[in-house]
Structure 1
Amino acid sequence: MRLPLPALLCCTAASLLLLLLRWRRRRGLWKKVRAARQRQERSLVQMEMAVQRFREQHPSVNVTSILNLPLPELTEKLRDGSLPLEHVFYAYVGKALQMATETNCITEYLQESETQVQKAKPAGKLGLLYGVPVSLKDSIDCQGHDTTLGFIKNINKPVAEDSVVVQVLRRQGAIPFVKTNIPQSLISYDCNNLIFGQTFNPLLYTRSPGGSTGGEGALIGGGGSILGFGTDLGGSLRFPAAFCGICALKPTGNRLSKKGVVSGIRGQKAVAAAVGPLAKDVESLALSMRALLCEDMFSLDSSVPPLPFNEEVYSSTKPLRIGYYETDFFTMPSPAMRRAIRETKQLLEDAGHTLVPFELMNMDYTLFNFCVKGVFADGCASFLGNFKGELEESSLGLFWLMKSPNWLKNVLSWITKPFMPRLSAMLLSVRANTVDEVWSLHHEIEEFSQQFVAQWKKLNLDVMLCPMLGPALGIGYPAKLSVAVSYTMLYNALDFPAGVVPVTMVTDEDEEELKGYQGYYRDYWDRTMAKAFHGSVGLPVAVQCVALPWQEELCLRFMKEVETLVLKNNRLI
């Protein structure tokens, strides 16, 4: 049946109008993106001008010597006045500018930091971080600046006040001076979004800096910041640290305030996110925790337990009883990754510590049924809602799968189970759940945590030495290897503090041995992982150090022991 001409004309006009509206909307979104990129470029110009003015006024300042100072020594010189605050500030602004140019790690220069430097007057009791320039992940609110999470909808929406972490940093004398790049939505361990683009690893530009705190990893790894802060839901602090050859600490979820820190998936409680520091060395992490775990933190956010930094635990020299494992039997470690654990274990044993094997059970079930299912228990509705009205969809692998209805996920899971069991499990783990099912999941996670702690205490362990995914994967590979978060996300589900320390570098022998890498499942993900590791000679490899909840000081003490032994061993070689 043919439509009458007037009806046909009306349908055509309506279609054209709809296309026009869509075109205008997209043009408006691209206009916002261009404006944000121009603001980013202006930030770099402002940094360049500020550094140039300083160098003209102070041509004899030895910038290199300032940048080479470890944080504890730097703070001491700033506090006793032997090193002018502005010398330190502009030394780091200059180096940060260089790293931004090379790696695209900075999204915005906080120009008001220059005013803070000018007004800083050393009088009375100085904060522990007096005069220290610090960098902040995009997702941490900073008054007067956007918190975009890589979404166009968040451009030109400056927040009204600092997050609690930033407020405390300022009260301790720190100077937030830049915000750094993230992957869109934060739910990725690469670092790329439509607004600011791809961030590159400062050690090798073809490699990812990790994510989601990727801009911080690149900036600190390249020497452009001495202390930075980010967040971690599944490894987002630990991946950038491991990939960029620096240190990071993921505390227990509520040890540091998350007030004013924006999450990629708001509201979910099954898997604990945390705010934490990144730095070149462990002592810098410890100093930052000393500064933050203060009365200001506890009064500004009453949900944070008033637990000051326990100096006695951190400075103890008592031999440790350390659990360890080389693999979780889910993600096969690279040869360098396995060697990193073995060599670190030997160093610890030689130093008088006791190493005890620890066996992980059913990691596939833990990852899919606790971690992935916990984060996406609403059938990915909250996550997908972030992308409504955006120009592009997530770069996260299997995004199409998340958008599918439950019945299709069930059917595909049944079809793929015989020959792709991990994909089958993934399909089931991103289904929408009823309230009863979510409560049951929370109960199951609680029981799992209790069983894990019981196994830990049965072995009478102090801490745990664990693998950390590495070396850095090539750009784009994290999106294809979402299942490779098994080594990190376990400790978000358990809500244990976990830190990362670089211990070795990939050798030619590791690269040769990688030719035999097949993985435990020999599926698409395992084949892709072998390609992602390829060509990594010279890149850093880290280990993960873990403690029981609320024992950040013990975790840091263990990290410091590993770092000290590795440095001592390297000097002897």
Structure 2
Amino acid sequence: MNELVFPELLADKCVTLMESLYSPRIAASFKAMTRIRSVKDLWKLHYATMAYRDEYLNAWRKHNIEVLLCPSIGPAFKLGCGGKLSAASSYTIIFSLLNCPAGVVPVTKVTEEDEEELQLYKGYRNDFWDKVFKKGRSRDTESVLSLSLLELHEQLQDGSLSPDSVLFAYMEKALEVTKLLNCITEFLPECQTQLKNLSGKKKGLLYGIPVSIKDNVNYKGHDSTCGLRKFFHQPATKDSVLVQVLKKQGAIPFVKTNVPQSLLSYECSNPIFGQTLNPHDHKRTPGGSSGGEGALIAAGGSILGIGSDIGGSIRVPAAFCGICGFKPTGNRLSSQGIRASLPGQKTVDAAVGPMARNVDSLALCMRALLCEDMFLLDPTVPPIPFNDEVFSSSKPLRIGYYESDEFWIPNASMKRAVMETKQLLEEAGHTLVPFKPLRTQSAFNELVINGMAADGGSTLLERLKGDIIDSTLKDLFFVNTVPKVLKKILCMFLKPFSPRISEALKYLGGVRSIYELWEQHIARQAYCDEYIDAWKSAELDVLLCPALGPALTAGYAGKVTATASYKIIFNLLNFPAGVVPVSTVTEQDEEDLKSYVGYCNDLWDRTFKKGVSGAVGLPLAVQCVALPWQDELCLRLMREVERVTQKKKVV
């Protein structure tokens, strides 16, 4: 299959979706916009146009009409709505098609009675076009979009806001955002059915809340592509457990969001849906692999999203886009029905988790998901409800911190974000103690890389077989296709001037036997035990450390994959971790970056320096970490970080 086939396949799928999501009118219009395939088709169109004109003129003469009086579209739409209602031009464009002279004359104004009657407007069949037409003339969505998730939750629960007004406000905003950022892969037509099903039911914790979900989260009847042709046009046969629980709690999943090809990248681009842009700077990546979620939420097109994380895939987009993201302990939330990037790989734990604009929103989502429905639908999930007592506690914390993992040297802005947050936490009454991360370089190479590439890259290559390789994935694809002999030569060649790259390549070859794989599993457990022992010896409650940032220029993140060390180490350890935005890049940070040499000024360091330069004003985050199953404590630190940094901004 070549590159040109994808748009036509996508167009066919969009037509099918629109027939159920919006209406046959929109589906027919979309279908009509697909390109004419031959001159013969064009001539048929010309003939049909002439036939229609003749038919119209015959009807005119039959009724002995001299002139025609008919409606003109009006009144004026609110800004942003006109572009979504191209079909409203039918009243005027039809006379351009017929080549009839036509004009408009102002005759009256909108009255209060007109506004009253508009509330009963159903249009053609009360489809999406009709609802946007009505909304564009009567409802101000900004008041809905300006509410926090907790405010929205409160007003939906007490009935002062209706679920349909919230859903359509976010659908409209999401359409606007994706037009700019290309962050949505599909709108979910079933959201309207879900909306109808809410009436008369007990209100769950997420009653009426629109939720966006990452591409790889199964939703019945829709693809989970992972940005791969292999999974295109293969709709899920049932909802993932997570989606089922969201629905039971009253949430309304309404869109799926974009991902990088294979999910194994901090970029967000694939040959099917294209490149997603960072909402703060369109030349930069929003991060990956939950990049569509990060971009959509940061730009206001969603208030709550679900992502997945095997090496920072929730935390990196959240940090790059300036929102909050939380990776729980693995299997705290069900992963049934979540398409994995490397199924069968057990060294590095993946997790699903929420993304939102603030920490309270993350906590509300976790509280809602950790319910009896989750535990019944997936008995492998430990039946541990959300512990509000831990999350709401005001007891001072003993917080470990570090500003470098000594494998990937952070830039000045990353260090500053940690140290400023440390000072604010100390001023708030918490105890901060230095903590030395354990052997990050050897853990990254011998456990993370060796574990994720234990099959020699065969799973990744099988998934990419026959596919177009996205430009952002070409480096990873190349190193997995190089024969072992050439890989060894390349390692020797790189060792004198890029020892880290040479070392990483050595561990990409895969394990040679099941015995070696089991030995690696033993080594991983020993590393986890050692890390926990060091944590306990320091008597830590939680840990504060850097989050990768700022967002890199598009195309650079795929060339510096070892920056994952700050995030993926906590997947290896299976520690809950989350990120909170705390600052933005300053002119001084940019000046300090000029003297950055990194670990040894190798190719990785130089590429990273170029990728993060020119980022004044972009978001910076810190990372908060806790021990396994202490998710609420991690969220507690995140909320405390959010509180002290916001207090500083107010002051």
Instruction: Establish whether TM, by shorter chain, passes 0.5.
Output: yes
Question: Is 2:363 the counterpart of 1:389?
Answer: no
Measure the CA separation in 1 of the matches of 2:15 and 2:276: 15
2:293–2:306 contact (8 Å) kept in structure 1: yes
Structure-to-structure mapping, 1:46-445, within 5 angstroms:
46=22, 48=84, 52-58=129-135, 59-123=137-201, 125-392=202-469, 395-396=472-473, 397-433=475-511, 434-445=513-524
Shift of 1:395: 3.2
Match of 2:622 in 1: 543
Measure the CA separation in 1 of the matches of 2:250 and 2:436: 45
Match of 1:5 in 2: none
1:347–1:565 contact (8 Å) kept in structure 2: yes
Give the partner amino acid of 2:317: P
Shift of 1:32: 4.3
Measure the CA separation in 2 of the matches of 1:232 and 1:398: 18
Measure the CA separation in 2 of the matches of 1:338 and 1:402: 33
Measure the CA separation in 2 of the matches of 1:444 and 1:400: 28
1:32–1:155 contact (8 Å) kept in structure 2: no
Deviation sequence 1:346-398 (CA, Å, 0-9, x none): 00000000000001232211111111111111111111111112133673324
2:325–2:355 contact (8 Å) kept in structure 1: yes
Shift of 1:313: 0.4
2:271–2:470 contact (8 Å) kept in structure 1: no
Measure the CA separation in 1 of the matches of 2:501 and 2:646: 41
Shift of 1:41: 8.6
1:517–1:530 contact (8 Å) kept in structure 2: yes
Measure the CA separation in 2 of the matches of 1:291 and 1:112: 21
Shift of 1:414: 3.0
Deviation sequence 1:21-80 (CA, Å, 0-9, x none): xxxxx35x7424432156459879959466652243344323111111111111111121
Measure the CA separation in 2 of the matches of 1:51 and 1:538: 38
CA 1:271–1:39: 2 relative to 1, 3 Å: same
Measure the CA separation in 1 of the matches of 2:593 and 2:334: 42
Match of 1:526 in 2: 605
Measure the CA separation in 2 of the matches of 1:35 and 1:344: 49
Measure the CA separation in 1 of the matches of 2:415 and 2:139: 44
Measure the CA separation in 1 of the matches of 2:131 and 2:395: 48
Measure the CA separation in 2 of the matches of 1:95 and 1:326: 38
The structure, 1 or 2, with the larger RCO (C-alpha pairs under 8 Å, 6+ apart) is 1
Shift of 1:419: 2.4
- More off after superposition, 68-77 vs 487-496: 68-77
CA 1:328–1:191: 2 relative to 1, 3 Å: same
Question: Is 2:591 the counterpart of 1:512?
Answer: yes
Measure the CA separation in 2 of the matches of 1:384 and 1:373: 16
Measure the CA separation in 1 of the matches of 2:400 and 2:139: 48
Deviation sequence 1:449-485 (CA, Å, 0-9, x none): 1010000000100000010000100101111111111
Shift of 1:430: 0.7
Deviation sequence 1:121-155 (CA, Å, 0-9, x none): 044x3110011000010000000001111111222
Deviation sequence 1:214-262 (CA, Å, 0-9, x none): 0000000101000000100000000110000000000111100000000
1:184–1:394 contact (8 Å) kept in structure 2: no
CA 1:338–1:51: 2 relative to 1, 3 Å: farther
CA 1:480–1:37: 2 relative to 1, 3 Å: farther
Deviation sequence 1:90-133 (CA, Å, 0-9, x none): 1000110111000000000001212222342044x311001100
RMSD of equivalent CA atoms = 1.7
Measure the CA separation in 2 of the matches of 1:382 and 1:146: 20
Measure the CA separation in 1 of the matches of 2:492 and 2:128: 61
Measure the CA separation in 2 of the matches of 1:138 and 1:245: 21
Measure the CA separation in 1 of the matches of 2:500 and 2:7: 37
2:450–2:510 contact (8 Å) kept in structure 1: no
Q: Structure 2: which 5+ runs fail to align?
A: 27-83, 86-126
1:36–1:155 contact (8 Å) kept in structure 2: no
Give the partner amino acid of 2:506: L
Give the partner amino acid of 1:536: A
Aligned to 2:574, the other structure's residue is in SS state coil
1:466–1:543 contact (8 Å) kept in structure 2: yes
Measure the CA separation in 1 of the matches of 2:470 and 2:614: 30
CA 1:100–1:559: 2 relative to 1, 3 Å: same
Match of 1:14 in 2: none
- More off after superposition, 540-549 vs 71-80: 71-80
Give the partner amino acid of 2:9: A
Shift of 1:406: 2.7
Aligned to 1:466, the other structure's residue is in SS state strand
1:248–1:285 contact (8 Å) kept in structure 2: yes
Question: How many aligned residue pairs are there?
Answer: 545
Shift of 1:432: 2.2
Structure-to-structure mapping, 1:452-491, within 5 angstroms:
452-491=531-570
Give the partner amino acid of 1:308: P
Measure the CA separation in 2 of the matches of 1:504 and 1:42: 44
Shift of 1:527: 0.4
Match of 1:10 in 2: none
1:324–1:358 contact (8 Å) kept in structure 2: yes
Match of 2:8 in 1: 34
1:51–1:93 contact (8 Å) kept in structure 2: no
Give the partner amino acid of 1:76: E
Of the three residues 499, 516, 523, the one matched with 2:578 is 499
Match of 2:89 in 1: none
Measure the CA separation in 2 of the matches of 1:339 and 1:262: 37
2:230–2:464 contact (8 Å) kept in structure 1: no
Percent identity, please. 51
Give the partner amino acid of 2:600: Y
CA 1:33–1:372: 2 relative to 1, 3 Å: farther
Deviation sequence 1:243-295 (CA, Å, 0-9, x none): 00000000111100000000111100000000000000000000000000011
Aligned to 1:116, the other structure's residue is in SS state helix
Larger Rg over CA atoms? 2
Deviation sequence 1:198-228 (CA, Å, 0-9, x none): 0000111011000000000000010100000
Q: Structure 1: which 5+ runs fail to align?
A: 1-25
TM-score by structure 2 length?
Answer: 0.81
TM superposition outliers: structure 1 runs of 4+ over 6 Å:
41-45
Match of 1:22 in 2: none
